[in-house]
Chains A and B, each alone.
Chain A
Amino acid sequence: KQEVTQIPAALSVPEGENLVLNCSFTDSAIYNLQWFRQDPGKGLTSLLLIQSSQREQTSGRLNASLDKSSGRSTLYIAASQPGDSATYLCPFPLAGGTSYGKLTFGQGTILTVHP
């Protein structure tokens, strides 16, 4: 069974720091990777989608990279702000016989950025 590990489980930093969130998978046969954030009591907001042919994707202060050979992904957040406080999730899209990309989630990284 595919498992997703996110490190650290929780992170509390002062505003302005550059951050690194890590995600690893027990199966390196990754097709694509979508990073999400979840605010308390809310649904999931898509941040970045790294397609199978890509190694990284950037959006504003966010940069996500994917290393298929090692089964790892990293999300960089530059110049963190209090509004970045949320839980960050990097689910693995189940491969194998299914082609439609149902997602397997880990527990996420809980990020708190304080002023």
Chain B
Amino acid sequence: GAGVSQSPRYKVAKRGQDVALRCDPISGHVSLFWYQQALGQGPEFLTYFQNEAQLDKSGLPSDRFFAERPEGSVSTLKIQRTQQEDSAVYLCASSPGYVRSNEQFFGPGTRLTVL
């Protein structure tokens, strides 16, 4: 079975451009998380979906960041008017249920570089 996939793997954007990052979770997984990982740091939580509902977006750094999961499967993280400080690896994770005991499975990440 396929794991979590993300696309593109690498994205270079000019400052001010909009970008869209895609996450394909493991089929049937209820929970989906987005994390941001700056160079040399551990990942930091951005937002959480339970099926199509976005239950927690407390980690989104500004209103330029927007995430959706309209059909409860694929998710897209959109960043508007990118800034240099948005440069990071964006990781997506999914888990089968919606409780703390569930193991999380991570994708390979999208490395975003804003020039």
Contact = CB atoms under 8 A, between A and B. Distances in A.
Interface of A: 4, 31-32, 34, 36, 41-46, 49, 51-52, 89, 91, 93-95, 98-108
B82 interface: no
B56 A102 contact: yes
Contact count band on B: 20 to 34
B50 interface: yes
B99 interface: yes
B101 interface: yes
Contact of B42 (A43, A98, A100, A107): A107
Given A43-B109, A100-B55, 16 more contacts: A43-B6, A43-B107, A44-B106, A45-B106, A51-B101, A52-B100, A91-B43, A99-B98, A100-B48, A100-B98, A101-B102, A103-B43, A105-B35, A105-B44, A106-B42, A108-B42
Interface string B62-100: 000000000000000000000000000001010100111
A101 B45 contact: no
Q: Considering residues A41, A45, A100, A108, which has the most beta carbons from chain B within 10 angstroms of its beta carbon?
A: A100
A36 B45 CA distance: 16
A102 B45 contact: yes
Contacts of A107: 40-42
B45 A100 contact: no
Helix, strand, loop or mixed for chain A's interface? loop
Contacts of B50: 100
Interface string B21-56: 000000000010101000011111100101000011
Nearest to A51: B101
Contacts of A42: 108-109
A30 to B, nearest CB: 10
B104 interface: yes
Contacts of B45: 94, 102-104
A100 B103 contact: no
